[in-house]
Structure 1
Amino acid sequence: MIRKRKYGYPEKTSFRISGQTKWPKGRSEVPERRLWVDGIELIPDFGHQLRPNFPNIFSWGCSFGESTAVTALTIGLFMIGDPRTAINLYPSFELYLLHGWEDNFDRQMDLSRFFNRSKPRLNLYLHSHYCPYLHVIMNEIDVYFDPNRELYTADLAYQFGKCFSLFENGVDQKRKAARKYTLGFRRWAFQNHLPSVVQHPSYTKLTSRIDEIMAEFSPYSRQCYFNEIRR
C-alpha cells in the first residue's frame, strides 16, 4: 500500500531494496521481475498509473526505457507518497540509481545524498509534463508555476539543451552541449516564428501549446539525437 506523506522529502532516506528476476527459457521473452522496498512488495501498477503510456512492467540494469521509468516511478511514489513529486524525481532516480542493478539483488541504500542533490526537483511549484514528441533521453518538460503572477512557464530551449547534455561526461562538456542545443532550439524557433519560452495562466492550455510546438520540432529533435548517438 502506498502511504501518503507530507510533500517534499521522505520521512526517511535509508531503504532496503530487493529485486528478483525470472527469465523464461531462451531469455528471448520479457522476464518476470519482482521488487520489494523495506520488505513490502511493490507492483508496477503504482508507477504505471502515473504514466499510463509506459508499459506496466518492471525493468532495471544497464538499459534505460519506459519500463525502467515505471520502476523509478513506483519506488519514488512509495518513498515519498506524493504522485507529482515522484514524477518530478523519476528521471534522476532512473539515471543515477537504477543503473547497474543485477537481475537479483538485495541492498541497503542511503539516499540522503540523492535527495539533497535533488532539491530543485522537490520544488512545490514544479510540474513535469510528458511530451511524446521530444526524441531524447527523457520526454519530460518542466513547467514552473509563479504564484505571484499566477502564470505557468516552460523554457523549451533550456529543456532541450539539458536533455542533450546527458550524453556528455565532464562538467565542461555538459555545459557546452547544453549551450549548443539550447541555442539550436532558439534558432529553430526564431526561424519558424515560434516561441522558445511558453507562458500561460492555464496549465492545460500551456501543455497543449507545448505539444503543438514540439510536434513541429520533432524531426529536428530526432536528427539531433541520431547525430549524437552516432558520434
Structure 2
Amino acid sequence: MNIYAGSKKTKWDIGMAETVFHIRGAIVVTDDLSLPVKTTRRMWVNGIEIFPEQAGVVRPFYECNFEWGELGQNASYTTALSICLAIFKSERLAENLFVCFKEEFVQNFPDGNFELVLEITRFLNKHNNRLHPDLYSRFCFSAITSSREILLYKNPKTGLITANLAENYAMHRETMPNIKLRKLNERKQRLLFRLFAKDNYLITGYEFTEVMSRAEDLMTRFYWRSVEKIITSQIEDKYEE
C-alpha cells in the first residue's frame, strides 16, 4: 500500500479565507557608481514584501535569495517556500507543498519583472495528497532528487513514523509531463531501489531525527552505489571501444 496516497475523506482543513493571490517579482539593479553592480530579486505577495530569510529559517539548506523562471536554480525552492509561507500561514503545510508549488508555478514565472494573479484552488485539488494531516516533508541531504525532500507518514494512533524510500526515490512530478512514461519510470525506479535496499526501504521509528538519520545513511549508500555503477559502466564501455 502506498502510504502517501491521497484520501478524499482524510484531508487537512486548512481553512483558507482566500485562494486568489497577487504575486509580484522585481529585479533591482544598484545604480550607485561607487559600488559594484549588484542585482537583487525581490518579491511581494498581495502587496506585502516577502524575504528569502523567512524560508531560510525553515530550510537553511537552499540559497538565501530569490530566483524564478525557467532558468531558476536552487534558490527557486527558497522562492516557492517563501511564497507558500505567506499564502498558507502554516510552516508544515508550506513544507508539504512548496516543492510542488515550485514546479507548477515558480519555474513558470517570467524570467524578468512580472506581476500576476494566482488562483490556487486547482493546485490544492491536484495535490490533495499533500494535505493529509499526518504527512510530513523533511530535507534529506543524500536524497537523489533536485529538491532533496522526502515524505514521511506519522500514524496518528501509534505515533510510528514511516518513510518509504523506494516511493520517495521513484517520485517524478511535473518534471516528466508524459503521464504514461512517468508512471513506467516510477515503477522502474521503485523496483531498482527495492532491489538495492531489499527489505530495508521502509524506515520506521518514533522520532523524526531517528528516522531521518537512518534514511540519510541508506540514501548515502545508494548514492555511492549508483556512482560506482556509472563509473564501472563507463570503464567497460571504454575498453569495448
Indicate whether the TM-score tops 0.5.
Answer: yes
Q: How many residues align?
A: 215
Given the superposition, is the C-alpha separation of residues 223 and 109 from structure 1 closer, same or farther in structure 2, using an over 3 Å criterion? farther
What percentage of aligned pairs have identical amino acids? 27
Match of 2:165 among 156, 165, 178: 156
The residue that corresponds to 1:3 in the other structure is none
d(CA) in 2 for partners of 1:107, 1:167: 23
Structure 1 position 94 matched with structure 2 position 67: no
Code of the aligned partner of 2:157: N
Given the superposition, is the C-alpha separation of residues 144 and 97 from structure 1 closer, same or farther in structure 2, using an over 3 Å criterion? same
Divergent runs of 4+, >2 A: 6-11, 22-25, 63-66, 135-138, 165-169, 219-225
Deviation at 1:220, TM superposition (A): 4.1
d(CA) in 2 for partners of 1:111, 1:141: 23
Alignment of 1:135-174 (within 5 A): 135-163=144-172, 167-174=175-182
Structure 2: gaps (5+ residues): 1-11, 32-36, 234-241
Q: Which structure is larger by alpha-carbon Rg, 1 or 2?
A: 2
1:9–1:122 Cα contact (<8 Å) kept: no
Aligned-CA RMSD value: 2.5
The residue that corresponds to 1:206 in the other structure is 211
Taking structure 1 as the reference length, the TM-score comes to 0.85
The residue that corresponds to 2:27 in the other structure is 21
Q: Secondary structure at the match of 1:61?
A: coil
The residue that corresponds to 2:34 in the other structure is none
Taking structure 2 as the reference length, the TM-score comes to 0.81
Alignment of 1:33-52 (within 5 A): 33-52=41-60
d(CA) in 1 for partners of 2:72, 2:224: 22
Q: Secondary structure at the match of 1:107?
A: strand
Q: Residues 156-202 of structure 1: CA distance to partner in whole angstroms, max 9, x if unpaired?
A: 00110114x65432111010000000000000112xxx601111122
Q: Secondary structure at the match of 1:137?
A: coil
Alignment of 1:1-231 (within 5 A): 8-23=14-29, 31-102=39-110, 103-163=112-172, 167-190=175-198, 195-220=200-225
d(CA) in 2 for partners of 1:9, 1:154: 28
Deviation at 1:224, TM superposition (A): 9.2
